[in-house]
């Protein structure tokens, strides 16, 4: 499968999805969002053990396409919001960890796609924020829910109320980025994280992600119950037996 504004590349079991619309700083229009959705599905179906999301050129994703949005009716905006949510949800539910490699501007919907990933690594020159307030709208693809979980309620409110654009170090300080590296090192840093993830037992990794996600689906009590069941369900799998046997036998495990 191929798309005009999205590339999907493979390195062993690691898939990299690059939003490739550099003339618009990778702003997301309908065709690009649809392509992202298809590429994410293809990566899942083809068994990616980690997925990296990044942008072509100097931007990660400069947001939803403002030129497309400016004249939308409320009804059309509802559909548009659903489309962006579907893509963010697909990243969140992706059956393996996802890593946003934030290589530049990540505003509005771009920040929201990064928020929907499991981990975020950024280059020194990245800038991130939910800038929608200055366009007279609010975040439309998940930031009102996902941002406070990551950075805390007060910081999220400040970011969203003031449309703050944070530099990479400031974003790392509030917990929005897990790691900041030199611009030239970003692709390697993301690949290294992805390779480390891909080397882990895939079924346990997927279950860990589902259990972590479940914690956000409802009250903590049901998340804890879910975790108990998910934890128990891994016992008896090849990777559990092998992982523990290898530890006991003081050797490297051979995971499925
Ligand atoms: N939508 C559409 N086009 C965009 C865009 C966007 N979000 N961001 C940048 N572009 C386009 C510009 O219009 C410009 O196109 P032309 O050459 O055809 O004029 C091209 O990309 C380059 O942009 P600039 O000339 O503005 O580049 P710059 O380096 O001077 O500034 C920037 C870069 C600071 C990122 C600036 O472009 C900017 O502020 N962009 C908007 C960022 C933003 O507010 N994003 C949030 C959108 S709202 C949203 O995402 C809602 C949601 O939650 C779903």
* CB 25 near ligand 1, within 6 Å: yes
Segment 81-105 mean pLDDT: 97
* pLDDT tens per residue across span 96-129: 999 999 999 999 999 999 999 999 999 999 999 9
Closest ligand 1 atom number to CA of residue 107 = 45
Stronger pLDDT, 234 or 27, i.e. the higher one: 27
**Is residue 203 scored above 80 in pLDDT?**
yes
* CB 104 near ligand 1, within 6 Å: no
Kindly report which listed range (61-70, 138-147, 177-186, 217-226) carries the lowest average pLDDT score: 217-226
Out of 9, 34, 82, 112, pick the active-site residue. 112
63 alpha carbon to ligand 1 midpoint, in Å?
A: 7
**Is residue 35 scored above 80 in pLDDT?**
yes
Segment 151-162 mean pLDDT: 97
Which domains occur in the chain, in start order? 6-184 (3.90.226.10)
Segment 172-199 mean pLDDT: 98
Q: Catalytic: 256?
A: no
d(CA 23, CA 7): 16
Structure token pair of residue 58: 């100097």
Q: Catalytic: 164?
A: no
Model pTM? 0.94
C-alpha dihedral sign at 127, 133, 136, 138 = positive
The predicted structure's pLDDT at residue 234: 85
Provide DSSP, 27-80: -B-HHHHHHHHHHHHHHHHTT-SEEEEEESTTEEE--B-HHHHTT--HHHHHHH
| Residue with CA nearest ligand 1 atom 22 | 24
| Spatial contact of 108 and 63, defined as CB atoms under 8 Å apart | yes
Stronger pLDDT, 236 or 54, i.e. the higher one: 54
């Amino acid at each position: 499968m191929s798309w005009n504004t999205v590339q999907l590349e493979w390195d062993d079991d690691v898939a990299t999805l690059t939003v490739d619309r550099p003339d618009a700083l990778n702003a997301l229009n309908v065709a690009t969002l649809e392509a992202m959705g298809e590429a994410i599905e293809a990566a899942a179906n083809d068994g990616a053990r980690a997925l990296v999301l990044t942008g072509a050129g100097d931007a990660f994703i400069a947001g939803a396409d403002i030129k497309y949005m400016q004249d939308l009716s409320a009804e059309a905006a509802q559909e548009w919001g659903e489309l962006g949510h579907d893509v963010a949800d697909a990243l969140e539910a992706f059956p393996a960890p996802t890593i946003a490699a934030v290589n530049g501007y990540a505003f509005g919907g771009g920040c929201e796609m990064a928020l929907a990933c499991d981990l975020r690594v950024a280059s020194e020159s990245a800038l991130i924020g939910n800038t929608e307030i200055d366009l007279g709208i609010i975040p439309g693809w998940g930031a009102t829910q996902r941002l406070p979980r990551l950075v805390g309620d007060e910081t999220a409110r400040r970011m969203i109320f003031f449309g703050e654009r944070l530099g990479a170090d400031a974003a790392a300080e509030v917990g929005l980025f897990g790691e900041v590296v030199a611009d030239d090192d970003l692709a390697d840093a993301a690949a290294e994280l992805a390779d480390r993830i891909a080397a882990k037992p895939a079924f346990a990794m997927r279950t860990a992600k589902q259990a972590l996600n479940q914690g956000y689906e409802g009250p903590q009590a049901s998340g804890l119950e879910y975790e108990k069941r998910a934890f128990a369900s891994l016992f008896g799998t090849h990777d559990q037996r092998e992982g523990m046997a290898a530890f006991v036998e003081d050797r490297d495990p051979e995971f499925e």
